[in-house]
Structure 1
Amino acid sequence: MNLNEFFSWFPWWSYVLLVLLIVFLRDIIQKKHTISHNFPIVGHLRYMLERIGPELRQYIVANNREELPFNRSQRSWVYASSKRENNYQGFGTDQDIYAPGHIFINPTMIPYALPEGHPNKQTPSLLPSAKVMGAYNKRKKPFRPKSVINISAMSFGSLSANAISSLNKGAYKAECYHNTGEGGYSPYHMHGADTMLQIGTGYFGVRDDNGDFVMDKLVDLVNQHEAVKAIEIKLSQGAKPGKGGVLPASKITKEIAEIRHIPLGQDVVSPSGHKAFTNMTEMLDFIEAVAKETGLPVGIKSAVGKLDMWEELTDLMLAKGIGPDFITIDGGEGGTGAAPPSFANHVSLPFIFAFTSVYQIFLKKGLTDRVVFIGSGKLGFPSSALMAFALGVDVIQVAREGMLSIGCIQAQVCHTNRCPAGVATQNKWLQAGIDPALKSERFYNYVKTLRKEILEITHACGYEHPSQMTMKDVDISMGDNNYTTTLANVYNYEKAQVPFKSMADLIACPHLGGKKETNTALA
C-alpha cells in the first residue's frame, strides 16, 4: 500500500478534527492566554473579534456621527470629494444642532457676488493666503502660499513612499505646499510641489553623526531644492508634546537611514527638546541665523499648554524687533504619528483652546501683523476651517484628512507598521496598493473641493476672502439657556483685521508660491 492509498482511507473531515485536536491540546497546555486555556478553540474567536473591532464598529455598529477621530459622515465627505462623486446629503441634517459646541456660520441676506473678470469666475477653488510669510522681517525670499489649505507635517518613515509621492504630486496640481515632517527631505517630496522643510529635535537630514544640527547641510539642501519655500522648527506636536519620537530599528531601511543621516540596526530616539537652543532668547537667535543663511521665512510649530513662555516670546519680539515669520499651532487632537495614550489623550490643549490662548497674547501686544498663523488639528472641513479663519488663523494644514483622501480607512494601526491601506507603513507589499498617479488626483480633488466650499460659504457671509471672517460671523451652541453665542463672546476678544484688498491683488503678488507658469498667467 502506497502513501496515497493510505491517506485515501481517511475522509477530509478527519483532518479538520485532527487540527482542532492539536489546537485544543495546545490551548489547555499553554498558560500565556487565560481565555484560550479556559475556553479551548472557541477562545480564539475573542482575539479575532478584538483585532477587527475598529472595523466592525466602523462599518456595522457606529452611527454616522459618533465615531472618533473622524466619524462616518466626515470620512464619506472626504472620500466622495476626492473621487469627484456626489458629496451632498438629502433630507436635511442628521446632526444634533442643539448639542453644545455645534458651529453655526452666520450668512448675510445678500451674499457677495463675483464681479465680471474675478479670478474665482475662472477658477472657483483659487484661494491664496492673505498674508505673506517673511514680509515683516524682510526675508530675502518671502513666501505667500498660493493655497490656504496645505499638507501638514508627515514624515517619510511615518508614511510610506507611495503615500508621500501621492500627496506631493497632488499638492503640485492643487498648488498647495507640502510640509516634509521631521524625517528629512526625501525623493518622494520632489515631485514639484512647494515644500515647507520641518526641522525637529533629531535634526534629521541636517545633522552630524552625534545628532547635532549642521547649518551647512541645511544651506546646501535649500540651495539644491528651489521648491523649499519655508522652514518650520518643530518644538512639539499635538500627539505627543514634550516627548521625542522613536523609530524602531526594524523600520529603518537603508534609504531612510541615508535620508535622515542615522545608523542602521538600532533604534533612533529623538530628544524631547532641541540642542541648538535651550531658551526663548536662544531660539530667536537660532531663527534669525537660519533665516539669514537660507534667506527663507522661518517659523515654529508647537502644541500649547502653559502660556508663560508665549508671554516671554512676545516680550522678546517687541524688545528685539525680530521673531518667527509664522507660527503653527497644533491641537492636542492631532496625531498621525504613534504616541503613548497618556500623551495623546491628556497632554496639551485641543486646537480651539490652544489657538485662542496664544492668539490673544499676540493680539494684546500688537504682534498679529508680524506673524502668519497656521492652524492644525481636524480643520480639513469647511465649517471647521471657517471657524479657524474667524478666530485669526491665516493658513490651515491638514494631515489625516489628506490621508483619508488617498485611501486611509481609519484602521488606527499607524503605530504597528501594518496599515492595511498602505499609507502609514513601510511594508512593501501593503504600500504597493497605492497608485500615486490615481491617489494624487484624489488628494487634488479633495483640496479643490474644500477650497471651493470654503469660498462658497465665505461669499454667503458677504466676504470675498475667508480672512475677512470675524468673531461675530460664527456662533457656537451653548447647550443651555444661553442658546447660541458668538466666538467673540465665548473667547472674549475680537480678531485683528487682516489687510486685504482683493483676490486679484493677492494673485498679482510677486511672492506667490506655486507653479510659475500659472502665476504668470494669473498676474
Structure 2
Amino acid sequence: MEINQWLNSAWFWVGIVLFIVIIRDIFIQKSHTITHNFPVVGHIRYWLEQIGPELRQYIVANNREELPFNRQERSWIYASSKNENNLQGFGTDQDFNSPGYIFIKNAMMGYNPPVNHPSKKNPGVLPATKVIGLFHNRKRPFRPYSVINISGMSYGSLSAKAVESLNKGAQLAGCYHNTGEGSLSPYHQFGADVILNIGTAYFGVRELDGTFSMDKLKQKVDENPQLRAIELKLSQGAKPGKGGMLPASKINQEIADIRHIPMGKDAISPAFHAQFSNIPEMVDFIESMATETGLPVGVKSAIGKLEQWEELAAYMAKTGKGPDFITIDGGEGGTGAAPHAFADHVSMPFTFAFAKVYQIFQRHDLTDKIFFIASGKLGFPEKALLAFAMGADSINIAREAMMSIGCIQAQKCHTNHCPTGIATSNKWLQAGIDVTLKSERYYRYHYTLVKEIAEITHACGYEHPCQMTMDDIELSMGDNNRTMTLSKAYGYHKTAIAYEYFNELIDCPHLGGANARNRLSR
C-alpha cells in the first residue's frame, strides 16, 4: 500500500525526472560546462539568462534608461495610439543636465492660428512645405501630405497583417508608406500613397538572375498610380555596407512572386549596387528611372565617409541632375537585424550625419532644391522638431510605427519568433493582429505626434515646423549649467525657405497625393 502511494506521489516522479536530468548533464551532454558541473541548477541559470531582457524591461530598468527606446517613450506611443491619457503629472523625471538634452525655446507671444486655419479643423494635418521633383521638372512631382511618414519595412521582414495595418493606418493619416526593399506587395495597396524602395537586389523590378529590369519598373509604376516616388537604397542605418538575406524557409510563393526570386533559395541582397559604381553612373541611373517613369527619384543612405557626398553635390551643381530627395538614415539601427559591430559602430548617428551632409549641399547652393528626409528614432515631438530645425523637410518613422500597432521591443525580429506577430511569418503569431484595430492605432499615434509637433511649433511663434531655426533649440553641455544652440554645436544655419503650403495643397491636390482634398476635410 505504501509503495503504491509513493508511486502515485508527484514528488516521486519529480525525483525521477531530476535524476534523469542529472545523469544526462554529467555523463551524456558535452556542450555546457555549467550544467555538467552543476546539474539542474545550471538549467535555472540558463533559463534566467533567457528571460533576462524581459525581467530588465519590466522589473529592473527605470523609466528612462532602456535602449533603443525607454519605457517612457514606449508608454507615450502606446497611450497615444490607444487614444488614452498620455500626459505626465507632477513634473518631469528627466535629468536636465544630461549631455545633449534638448531645450526648445518658446516665444513670449506664440503663433495663434486664425479661425479659418486648417489646423483648427484638423490638428493632425501638417503637409510638407516642399514639392519633391519640382526642381528637376519631373512629370509627376509629389508633395507629401504629411511631414511624418512610414519608413521602409518590407513584407517578409514584417508580417502581412502588420504591413496591411500600417498601410490602412497611413491611408487614414494621409501619410505615405515606404515599401522597403522587398518591393510592392498586395498589403501595401489599401489606399495610402506609396514610395517604392529599390535596394541592391532590385526585388520586384528584376530578372530571375538578379539584374535590374527597367521594363518591370515601368510596368509596376503604370499599374499602380499610388506609387508617388522611387527611393534608391544605398545603405541603411542598421547595417551600412552589408547586404541582407531572407532565408529560403521564410520564402513562400507569394513572396517569391512579389520579389521575382526563385523558390527554395535564400534571397540575397548584395552589399552594393551592380547598376553603378561611381557618382556619374548613379546619377545617370537615377535620371533614367525618373525619365522612364515620370516619378521623382531619391536616395537613402547611412552616412560615413563624406568624400563621395562632396562629389555628388558638386556633380549636381555642375549638371543640374541628380536625386530629388535624400533620406539620411541614422546609424542608431532600425528594423533590420544586423551583426553587433555593424549595429553599434558603423555609420554616424542621425544628428552628426544630417549636419555634415546638409552642410555639403548648402555649400553648393542645393538645399532649397533637394527634399531632405530625416530618419533615426525621430518619432517623438521634441526629436522631430530637432530634425526640422536642422533642415529636414519630413520625418520617416519605422520602429515607432511598429510600436503603435503592438510591438513590445522584444528584439526578436531576426528569429521569426516575434511574440506580437509583427516581425514574423508565423501564422499563429500573426493571428493576434486585428488589422482594423491596429490601423486605427497607427492613425491615432500619427495624429497625436503631428498635433504635438504643431502645438510646440506654435508655442515657438511659428506656423510650420520647417520654420524652426538652429537657434530655437539648445543642447545641454552636461553638469556645468551650460547650453549651446544647434547653430554653434554643428556650425551652420539652415537655409530659410518661403512657402504657402495650405493654399497650394487645396489648389493643387495632385501634388498632395491621392485624395488630398478629401483628407484635408476630415
Fold agreement, TM-score > 0.5: yes
Shift of 1:401: 0.2
Q: For 1:119 and 1:340, locate their aligned partners in 2 and report how far apart those are by CA, in whole Å.
A: 46
Deviations 1:68-93 (A, max 9, x none): 00000000000000000000000101
Counterparts of 1:7-406 in structure 2 under 5 Å?
10-29=8-27, 30-406=29-405
Unaligned runs of 5+ in 1: none
- Could you tell me the percent identity over the aligned residues? 64
Kept in 2: contact 1:303–1:330 (CA 8 A): yes
Distance in 2 (CA, whole Å) between partners of 1:356 and 1:507 is 33
Deviation at 1:11, TM superposition (A): 2.5
Amino acid aligned to 1:508: D
Distance 2:111 2:397 in 1: 27
Shift of 1:8: 9.4
4+ residue runs over 6 A deviation: 5-8
Q: TM-score scaled by structure 1?
A: 0.97
Instruction: In structure 2, list runs of 5 or more residues that go unmatched.
Output: none
What amino acid does structure 1 have at the position aligned with 2:109? I
3-state SS in 2 of match to 1:144: coil
The SS at the match of 1:414 is coil
Bigger shift: 97-106 or 40-49?
40-49
Question: What amino acid maps onto 1:27 in structure 2?
Answer: D
1:92/1:274 Cα in 2 relative to 1: closer, same or farther (>3 Å)?
same
Label 1:240 to 1:502 Cα distance change in 2 as closer, same or farther (>3 A). closer
One-letter identity of the residue aligned with 2:75: S
CA contact (8 A) 2:374 2:394 kept: yes
Partner SS state of residue 92, structure 2: coil
Cα drift, residue 450 of structure 1: 0.1
- For residues 501 and 182 of structure 2, the distance between their equivalents in structure 1, rounded to whole angstroms, comes to 38
Q: CA 1:220–1:122 in 2, change beyond 3 Å: closer, same or farther?
A: same
Whole-angstrom distance in 1 between the partners of 2:61 and 2:367:
42
- The Cα of 1:498 is off from its aligned counterpart by 1.9
Tell me how far apart the structure 2 counterparts of residues 464 and 252 of structure 1 sit (CA, whole Å).
Answer: 47
Whether the aligned pair in 2 keeps the contact of 1:133 and 1:142 (CA below 8 Å) is: yes
**RMSD, matched Cα:** 1.6
Amino acid in structure 2 at the alignment position of 1:363: Q
Deviation at 1:10, TM superposition (A): 3.2
* Cα deviation 1:412-445 (Å, max 9, x = unaligned): 1111111111111111111111111111110000
Secondary structure of 1:197's counterpart equals strand
Distance across 2 between alignment mates of 1:11 and 1:522: 71
Q: Shift in Å at residue 208 of structure 1?
A: 0.5
CA contact 2:97–2:479 (8 Å) conserved in 1: no
Q: Is the 8 A contact 1:119 1:504 kept in 2?
A: no
> Aligned partners of 2:374 and 2:110: how far apart in 1?
27
Matches of 1:302 and 1:517 in 2, distance apart? 29
TM-score (ref. length: structure 2): 0.97
Q: Which amino acid aligns with 1:193?
A: A
The whole-number CA distance in structure 2 between the counterparts of 1:458 and 1:78 is 20
Q: Which SS does the other structure have where 1:369 is aligned?
A: coil
**Cα distance in 2, alignment partners of residues 291 and 9 from structure 1:** 78
CA contact (8 A) 2:252 2:263 kept: yes
Given residue 110 of structure 2, which amino acid in structure 1 is its aligned partner?
Answer: P
- Tell me the CA shift for residue 507 of structure 1: 4.1
Give the match for residue 487 of structure 2.
488
1:457 aligns with 2:456: yes
Separation in 1, partners of 2:305, 2:7:
76
Q: 2 CA distance for matches of 1:520 and 1:491?
A: 38
CA shift digits 1:91-139 (9 cap, x unpaired): 1010001111000000000110111211011001100000010000010
How has the CA–CA distance of structure 1 residues 179 and 187 changed in structure 2, closer, same or farther, with 3 Å as cutoff? same
**Alignment partners' CA distance in 2, 1:506 and 1:98:** 42
TM-superposed CA distance for 1:209, in Å, is 1.4
Query: Could you say what secondary structure the match of 2:210 adopts?
Result: coil
Aligned residues: 519
Contact 2:381 2:453 in 1 (8 A): yes
Moved more, 264-273 or 89-98: 264-273
Residue identity opposite 2:16 in structure 1: L
- Per the alignment, in what secondary structure is the counterpart of residue 103 of structure 2? strand
Shifted more, 388-397 versus 31-40: the winner is 31-40
Give, in angstroms, the shift of residue 9 of structure 1.
5.2
CA deviation after TM superposition for structure 1 residue 499, in Å: 2.0
Inter-partner Cα distance in structure 2 for 1:196 and 1:159: 17
- 1:513 deviates by 2.8
Distance in 1 separating the partners of 2:38 and 2:519: 72
Opposite residue 73 of structure 2, the aligned amino acid is: Q
Change beyond 3 A, Cα 1:520–1:56? closer
Q: CA deviation at 1:461?
A: 0.3
Match of 1:198, SS state, is strand
Measure how far apart 1:24 and its partner are.
Answer: 1.5
Contact 1:373–1:393 (CA under 8 A) maintained in structure 2: yes
Task: Say if 1:456 and 1:521 are closer, same or farther in 2 by CA, change over 3 A.
Answer: closer
Q: Which amino acid aligns with 1:491?
A: Y
Alignment of 1:410-429 (within 5 A): 410-429=409-428
Give 1:480 deviation, angstroms: 5.2
Counterparts in 2 of 1:426 and 1:80: CA distance versus 1, 3 Å: same
For residues 146 and 430 of structure 2, the distance between their equivalents in structure 1, rounded to whole angstroms, comes to 28
For residues 7 and 512 of structure 1, what CA distance do their matches in structure 2 show? 81
Distance 2:225 2:512 in 1: 11
Cα distance in 1, alignment partners of residues 360 and 226 from structure 2: 33
